[in-house]
Structure 1
Amino acid sequence: MSSTVIEAEEKKVRGSGDEYVAKTELHHLITHELKKSQHVKENVTIKPRSKPLAKTTLAQKLVDQLYETYASKPSKSFGFFNGKIEENRSQVYVKKYFVDNDLDFKSFSVDMANALAAEARRSSAATGGHVFIAQFTHAKKDYLLVAIINDEYAIALNEEEERGDELEEVGFLNLKGLRFAGQINVTAWKNSEDRYLSFLKGTGDVADYFKRFLACDSSISNLSDTQSLTSVVEKFAWSVKIDDKPLSDEQRDDFLKKVDNYCREMADSSLELHLEEFSNVVWPRDPEALKSALAESDTPISDGFVPHKKGLLGLVKFRGKSQHWSLSFDREAIAEGNIQLLEDDSIKLSDVPSHLIDSLRREISGS
């Protein structure tokens, strides 16, 4: 997209009279050109930009859209820096910029772009494009987002008849077609949390490309991912609506049973669970709604984990125990009224087996 187009569009935004409400707090934004040529030994090169983009309304809108597009993608892997600083230099540059303050943003971005180009030379999946690097804050957390965005073209109607051409070709940045992107939750990294790196998980070399660039160890914890998935689908079951009405108890139970059965089948066969396919299968009515819920999980869920049966406990069955007793029941018992939670937080059991009643009577009468 040419600078003249950006400047013209910026004037429209400023003159529209509508004040834009930003979704993130933009600190820095820059783009470098990633060029990939055929039949050339050094077939991937970086054409760096001389300075960061100005923090205009359009720049803010771009970062907001880029963040939202990335966040809405359910197929992501999460991890942490692998510590192999000789092989993957990006983690060195991140420390120099965010911790040591040895680099300004422009120099840091060029180092990161060159690290990306080095990995692109090793990947058949890599393509050229605009390398956007954005530093911003969202929900009091600092982020660095790196994405490769390509130009697209569309035919637009020119309503200025005196110009002669009624139709014209207009270039734009294709954010919806985002395939190569990764993000660092800088706040989580500084707080020594477990998962602060993420990247879009495509197929084959697409995933490996950005994984290597970010120096990401994406070792998956099947149990924690299963527990996070369980938490999200339970909240989803209580919040989702059909025809503006919450799910009935029967609909909710059917949905959760479907989730439980799907996950257990995957666990039994040691198959990876992919969030997009999972959403399509268990909630075909509106899979996008479930995908969004999974993508927005407070605890990141890695795409491609193998469900762990222990993490499914509570999805259909409830269990609890103290020093002297243990209790287990499923949701159907609640639906049929056999389990009731009373106002004093005690639990009332109905339809108790006769042999248990007889044993209790003998015990109590003999004491």
Structure 2
Amino acid sequence: MTPVQHTITDVVVHRLLKQEGAPASVELRPTACAVNDAAVRLVERLCSHYADRSSKGYGRFEDDEATYPLPYMLKAHVVERSVDFATVSQQMMTQLQACIDEETEAGGFVIIARITEGKTDTLWVAVMGEALGTSITGTLDIIDCAHLDFSALKAAGRIDLSGWQRGDERYISFLKGRGDVAPWFKRFLGCTDLVIAVKETKKLVLALNQFVENERLEPAERDAVLERAHVYLDELGETGVPVALDEVARQVCPERAPQLDAVLKTEAVKLADGFVPDRRAIRPLVRFRAAGEQWKLEFDRSGLHSGAVHYDRASDTLVLSGLPDYLKKMLDSDDQGA
């Protein structure tokens, strides 16, 4: 998979302070940070960490901009260009401060970055804690050194500004962690989740089919992967258990789990966690269905290997074997009548 080229146009770090029993406060940086090597490494690591996490949600802005003003702020910066990056980031911090007031402890450093990914304009927001480490000075003294801690990434979201302006159905993604995304962060984004089981299931089926094709698996191995996927997803659908994307690859294709996991995590697929698979929508994993002007046909994938169905590419024909008696009688009767 070709890595996406990131071009960082703007980045800033503010601080959000929140302790139990006290109102939230902010420390604002007056100007954007220099896009130097350290800033680039930080943002690239954030993007990589985000991409590696499979548990994401997707959605779009709420229509009520009075209650959820982030799209109003971004419109002034991105569309009208009447507000610069530093100013809009400070406005966003005011909204984040208001959303976090009801929480107990949710503070941290807030990284806001505008990044061009290929041809896509995006805005990233991440709230991250810090940890105490050790550093060595130029005189080889040992000193304490605080650093941003990616294991303490409390919330992160990505807004596809290009998709938002086009009117795409979903253009916001956010990390969900072990449960749902922090409610205060979703309020800050003003994001309504759009998880529709049938659509998400169809996207998952398409991603699985593309995976087995791209990996050029042998027919038997390809069918085994898709059949395992069908069994696994059908069990989830029957019991009403939501899909956890980080489990799919391990259950479906353990021998190629990292490759499949990478496919399911990609932003291009935009698969959401937490939907219950639609049992009808997973049938294409093990069944072919097609129709022409004068016929309709449906058969299981296994029939291609048992000999019940034979496809001859050269003659453009499909041969069915083992026809049931009632069908043979119907065909004989129709043939004699002709």
Tell me if both proteins adopt one fold, taking TM over 0.5 as the criterion: yes
Q: Describe the shift of the 1:164–1:343 C-alpha distance in structure 2 as closer, same or farther (beyond 3 A).
A: closer
Q: Is the 8 A contact 1:149 1:175 kept in 2?
A: yes
Give TM-score scaled by structure 1 length: 0.83
Q: Distance in 1 between matches of 2:318 and 2:256?
A: 37
Q: Distance in 2 between matches of 1:278 and 1:307?
A: 12
1:268 equivalent to 2:238? Answer yes
Aligned to 1:48: 28
Letter matched to residue 211 of structure 1: K
1:292 equivalent to 2:274? Answer no
Q: Is the 8 A contact 1:152 1:173 kept in 2?
A: yes
Question: Could you tell me which of 215, 227, 244 is aligned with 2:202?
Answer: 227
1:278 equivalent to 2:278? Answer no
Question: Could you tell me which of 108, 113, 116 is aligned with 1:134?
Answer: 113
Q: Describe the shift of the 1:311–1:22 C-alpha distance in structure 2 as closer, same or farther (beyond 3 A).
A: closer
TM-superposed deviation, 1:159? 9.7
1:34 equivalent to 2:23? Answer no
Aligned to 2:129: 150
Question: Could you tell me which of 44, 56, 76 is aligned with 1:64?
Answer: 44
- Counterpart of 1:174 in 2: which secondary structure? strand
- Counterpart of 1:86 in 2: which secondary structure? coil
Q: Is the 8 A contact 1:23 1:64 kept in 2?
A: no
1:183 equivalent to 2:162? Answer no
Letter matched to residue 188 of structure 1: G
1:88 equivalent to 2:63? Answer no
Q: Describe the shift of the 1:151–1:187 C-alpha distance in structure 2 as closer, same or farther (beyond 3 A).
A: same
Of 144-153 and 331-340, deviating more is: 331-340
Q: Is the 8 A contact 1:267 1:306 kept in 2?
A: yes
Q: Is the 8 A contact 1:131 1:148 kept in 2?
A: yes
Q: Is the 8 A contact 1:135 1:145 kept in 2?
A: yes
- Counterpart of 2:222 in 1: which secondary structure? helix
Q: Is the 8 A contact 1:141 1:185 kept in 2?
A: yes
Question: Could you tell me which of 283, 288, 294 is aligned with 1:324?
Answer: 294
Q: State the 4+ residue runs in structure 1 displaced beyond 6 angstroms.
A: none
**Alignment: residue pair count:** 335
Question: Could you tell me which of 193, 212, 215 is aligned with 1:237?
Answer: 212
Q: Is the 8 A contact 1:79 1:196 kept in 2?
A: yes
Q: Describe the shift of the 1:172–1:89 C-alpha distance in structure 2 as closer, same or farther (beyond 3 A).
A: same
TM-superposed deviation, 1:59? 1.9
Q: Distance in 1 between matches of 2:267 and 2:335?
A: 49
Of 100-109 and 316-325, deviating more is: 316-325
Question: Could you tell me which of 302, 309, 317 is aligned with 2:279?
Answer: 309
- Counterpart of 2:111 in 1: which secondary structure? strand
TM-superposed deviation, 1:164? 5.0
Question: Could you tell me which of 115, 121, 125 is aligned with 2:101?
Answer: 121
Q: Distance in 2 between matches of 1:299 and 1:39?
A: 42
Q: Distance in 2 between matches of 1:299 and 1:136?
A: 20
Q: Describe the shift of the 1:123–1:280 C-alpha distance in structure 2 as closer, same or farther (beyond 3 A).
A: farther
Q: Distance in 1 between matches of 2:95 and 2:67?
A: 10
TM-superposed deviation, 1:109? 0.2
Q: Distance in 1 between matches of 2:27 and 2:113?
A: 17
Q: Describe the shift of the 1:297–1:310 C-alpha distance in structure 2 as closer, same or farther (beyond 3 A).
A: farther
Letter matched to residue 348 of structure 1: L
TM-superposed deviation, 1:26? 1.0
Within-5 A mapping of 1:4-23: 23=5
1:250 equivalent to 2:220? Answer yes
Q: Describe the shift of the 1:218–1:164 C-alpha distance in structure 2 as closer, same or farther (beyond 3 A).
A: closer
Q: Is the 8 A contact 1:153 1:172 kept in 2?
A: yes
Give TM-score scaled by structure 2 length: 0.89
Q: Distance in 2 between matches of 1:298 and 1:82?
A: 23
Q: Describe the shift of the 1:45–1:27 C-alpha distance in structure 2 as closer, same or farther (beyond 3 A).
A: same
Root mean square deviation of aligned Cα: 2.5
Letter matched to residue 310 of structure 1: R
- Counterpart of 2:281 in 1: which secondary structure? helix
* 1:159-185 Cα shifts (integer Å, max 9, x gaps): 97xx354x5544432235434101100
Aligned to 2:185: 210
Q: Distance in 1 between matches of 2:315 and 2:166?
A: 38
Q: Is the 8 A contact 1:77 1:218 kept in 2?
A: yes
Q: Which runs of 5+ in 1 are unaligned?
A: 1-20, 241-245
- Counterpart of 1:306 in 2: which secondary structure? coil
